[in-house]
Structure 1
Amino acid sequence: MSSSVSGEGLRDEGSKLQVVTAGATAGLISRFIVAPFDVVKIRLQLQSHSLSDPLSHPKAQGGPIYKGTLPTLRHIVRNEGITGLWKGNVPAEIMYLCYGAVQFTAYRSVTQLLRTVTATADGERSRIPPAVGSFIAGAAAGAAATTTTYPLDLLRTRFAAQGNDRVYTTLAGAVRDIRRDEGWRGFFRGLGPGVGQIVPYMGIFFASYETLRLPLAELHLPWGGGDATAGVVSGVVAKTAVFPLDLVRKRIQVQGPTRARYVHKNIPEYYGGAVGVLRAIVRAEGFRGLYRGLTVSLIKAAPGSAVTVWSYERVLRLLMSMERVATEDARI
């Protein structure tokens, strides 16, 4: 993740197995920590009426009004218990396990491919700006990971969106019901905006991270190393840029025969793909409607990105250190 596609200053990136293990571990740790924020974000994103509407507003009937991150957290705990903050965590943990492994593996593979294809005839590598190479590798890695794990992402959203009146009781039951009622295509509702979101997100994230990591590493920061700080800043910038597509994806994911059975009973029915949903939201809710849940999303993005980057770097370093020790012991 902290590799550069220029020919200078490259460190050993570890074996493919080490990269997969480090990426998967980073994903699991990050997901568990930010799970409550993720549930709050999904609830806010699916709330189609204005936060300023009174409870008597016609559009607000059939679903609670959430106002802000902390009130929403309290509302969920009060009405659904503390475990309500981890709804959808099982498919989410599986998704993050697979997502982290695919993402970091693809990033490493694309980075190495770029080095190969940019090699000159005399064996030297042409100088690609690190930010450009990171954008390409990050976008490709994000697209591959999103497509591979998308059914789990949809399941995570649907479980997080249901209140005490359960739509699905078990993960296996959800898979069976969606397959029966919506077909295999049902597992990929919203894939278009999902990929459309993750490609620029990962590109911007990796490009920002690579640009900031080395300068920040030279600073003596009171709260930690440059890796974590670069991860925080990069996550916030990237998340804000693509947030409307993330909201559109969530709205599409809960379409289908169960749309009116989630905690929000008044989720609109959308047509016309991602562009049609964008237009419908702007027309009915204004441009503000495209940014419902942005605050908690940024709160989630900061620790999520920092923990992911920090965990990946440390786990990879530990695995490489263990391999060196094992190799040295074998030589004795």
Structure 2
Amino acid sequence: MADSLLETLGLSADDETHTYLAHLGGLTTASLDKEAASLAQSSQSIHVALQALSKKSHAPIIRAVTQHDVLRQSLPTLGREAAKLRSSIPKIDSEVVRFSTAFSKSSQCAITAKRRRDLLLLQNVERLVDVLEVPTLLETAVTSGPANHSSALDLNGHIRRLHSLYPDSKLISSVAEEADSLIYQLALDLVHSLGTPGLKLASAIRTASLLRRVLPDILPSTTKDAQEKTLGLVFLLRRTATLALMLDALEPLRNLADSEKANVKSAGKSGSWSGGQHTERYLKRYVEVFREHSFAIISMFRSVFVSQAAEPTDPLQPVPQGLSTLVLHLVDMLLEPLDDYLPVIKDQSSRDSILTQVLYCAGSLGRLGGDFGLLLFGIGPREGALEAEHEWVEVARRHRFLTGRLASGVGSAVLLQPLDLLKTRAQQPNHTSLATTLRQMLRSPLGRATPWTLWRGTVPSALRTGFGSALYFTLLNSLRHRALRFEPLRDVSSKAGYSSQLPTLSNMANLATGATARVMAGMALMPLTIIKVRFESSKYSYGTMWAAARDIHRTGGFRGFFAGFGATAIRDGPYAGTYVLLYESLKKRLSRISVAARGESGQAGSRDAAAINFTSAIVAGGACSILSNPFDAIKTRIQLEPNAYANMMQACRTMVRSEGVRSLFDGLALRMTRKALSSALAWTAYEELIRIGGVTR
């Protein structure tokens, strides 16, 4: 049946067609009617399944087909290359055998050694780059300023260690040579910095320490002691050269002084020359610059080079050569212009000012062991001087006199400060009794006794008393000597047995000179007086003198530093004038009594004179304190509360109205005690200094 259908339809006889026609032959007529629908349904299911398969596996199928095409083309190529490799293997094997034979470890080949060196260089290339960069870093550290000089020396030390480890390396040797030149330049810069005009001690110590590290590299053949001496000599030379440059900067003033010197020579012996102002300015400036820088040179040398500047244990050991020759050279630098230009100045006050300045310079260097005062007495004498003693001796005595006055004034101020403090507390408004005040001061908040509170305000008091005493006695001495020029002011009575070392004046002259000198000194030191009183009072709690000065200026302005000056002047003027008058009168009477009692004639001995002066000063100080105490109380009130007490009259009325007349005598006993003791110490020391020092009367 199937075969006949194939022939009728003219189809090829494949297995699937033959099977299907056989299936049709076995169907009934009813089933044949449904076969078309069954085939359509099967076709639709197959179509849907193909669409799903196509959607899911299209890309892998396409990729697989493509890869199969490539594989079809690559397999023949792979086969050909494999055949070539198979034919080349014997040749490669023979070459490997030859190479292993030629370059085995047992044989020393130049190529192998070169490759080993190249491999070692490759492995250490970063280290070599670092070594090559060291000179650049060293140059940067040398030229970038003092802050990096220590780093430069550290780099130089690293280079020298490398050079000691690898002495045969040309690279390290070249780096070391370049570093030596840079370190030499660094040493020059450090030496140059020692000559900076404003060099400070800290900078000098730092520079010297750097040079100590540099010198072993620059002077390797010398010992450490020799290097230190060389460094000290370099330091002195640089600082001395700087001093010379500073002095050369005074050339404009020196030219004016030279012109005045030429005018003096042209004036001849006519005596008409009265100039010298430019010469005075030049010498003062020269001595000022010399004193400041010479002191700085020696003190800085002694601080930087301790071993060289130390005192020798053997007294016969010579002074270190650098310092000894330097001091002589510095003295020559000062004495030469003094010898040339000092004769040009004829005014005695100007000469005394310059001579005093030179003596201060000698004393300043004397604290460092370089006092050249003995070399001054042949310098610049005046022509035609009539004084029995050389003017240098006179100025030196005055210098010692002022120094002694300042020291004695400070000593008495410190010793008697508790009395002054208690007197101020007793004179302040709303004060308590002396016993209560003393108990309050001697007790700390913790209940422990603190006697040092009695010395509160010692610093301003010492400054005021020290400088005030020196200024007062200087003015008094000058005024009394000027008063001697006028015949009516002299005391023509005999001085037989008289203990005084002062010029003898009349009572009116003693009163006037004492009052004038005291008022002038009091006005000059009025700001220190205000600060002292406020420190001593319990109404203020200043920590420092600067804090007190700021508060006074803030509340009262510049006038606040002179509050109560009227009361101070009225207190000090009559007090000082009356004191000098009474002091001189008592000395005369006591001297006469002493001579009469001993049955001797002539001037009293030194012990008797000191006792007479001390007794006269105590009596005069105590008596004058009673007269001046009201003005002292008024002055204290004005200085403590300037807003409440505007002036002296208003303060006096307020004190008397609110507290009675007794308030004007508050602190009288304390003031009498302090004034009597301080006056006795001051005036006795004053006359003794005149007697011992020989100040011209």
TM beyond 0.5: yes
* In the alignment, structure 1 residue 206 sits paired with structure 2 residue 580: yes
Which residue pairs with 1:76 in the alignment?
441
Aligned AA (1:178): I
Deviation at residue 115 of structure 1 after TM alignment: 1.6
Which residue pairs with 1:270 in the alignment?
645
Deviation at residue 72 of structure 1 after TM alignment: 3.8
Map of 1:166-181 to 2, 5 A cutoff? 167-181=541-555
Which residue pairs with 1:266 in the alignment?
none
Residue among 391, 402, 409 paired with 1:27: 409
Which residue pairs with 2:600 in the alignment?
none
**Distance verdict in 2 for CA 1:226–1:251, change over 3 Å:** same
**Distance verdict in 2 for CA 1:155–1:300, change over 3 Å:** same
* In the alignment, structure 1 residue 246 sits paired with structure 2 residue 620: no
Larger radius of gyration: 2
Distance 1:134 1:74 in 2: 43
Q: Is the 8 A contact 1:201 1:241 kept in 2?
A: yes
Which residue pairs with 2:433 in the alignment?
66
Map of 1:21-170 to 2, 5 A cutoff? 21-48=403-430, 65-67=432-434, 72-79=437-444, 81-116=450-485, 118-119=486-487, 130-162=506-538, 167-170=541-544
**Residue deviations 1:178-202 (CA, integer Å, cap 9, x gap):** 2233211111110110011100000
Structure 1: 5+ residue stretches without partners = 1-12, 50-64, 258-268, 324-332
Aligned AA (2:456): K
Deviation at residue 318 of structure 1 after TM alignment: 3.5
Residue among 599, 607, 615 paired with 1:229: 615
Q: Is the 8 A contact 2:413 2:466 kept in 1?
A: no
Q: Is the 8 A contact 1:19 1:104 kept in 2?
A: no
**Distance verdict in 2 for CA 1:307–1:74, change over 3 Å:** farther
Q: Is the 8 A contact 2:634 2:651 kept in 1?
A: yes
Distance 2:428 2:575 in 1: 21
Q: Is the 8 A contact 1:205 1:238 kept in 2?
A: yes
Deviation at residue 76 of structure 1 after TM alignment: 1.6
**Distance verdict in 2 for CA 1:270–1:125, change over 3 Å:** closer
Q: Is the 8 A contact 1:282 1:289 kept in 2?
A: yes
**Distance verdict in 2 for CA 1:307–1:72, change over 3 Å:** farther
Matched residues, percent identical? 28
Deviation at residue 301 of structure 1 after TM alignment: 1.8
Aligned AA (1:314): E
Residue among 291, 295, 302 paired with 2:665: 291
Structure 2: 5+ residue stretches without partners = 1-393, 493-503, 598-606
Distance 2:621 2:553 in 1: 34
Superposition RMSD on alpha carbons, in Å?
A: 2.8
Give the TM-score normalised by structure 2. Answer: 0.37
Q: Is the 8 A contact 2:579 2:621 kept in 1?
A: yes
Which residue pairs with 2:692 in the alignment?
318
Which residue pairs with 2:569 in the alignment?
195
Distance 2:584 2:491 in 1: 18
Deviation at residue 129 of structure 1 after TM alignment: 5.5
Q: Is the 8 A contact 1:25 1:312 kept in 2?
A: no
Deviation at residue 16 of structure 1 after TM alignment: 4.0
**SS at 1:270's partner residue?**
coil
Aligned AA (2:572): I
The structure that is helix-richer by fraction is 2
Q: Is the 8 A contact 2:429 2:637 kept in 1?
A: no
Query: Size of the alignment, in residue pairs?
Result: 274
**Residue deviations 1:144-163 (CA, integer Å, cap 9, x gap):** 11001011011000000037
**SS at 1:225's partner residue?**
helix
Which residue pairs with 1:264 in the alignment?
none
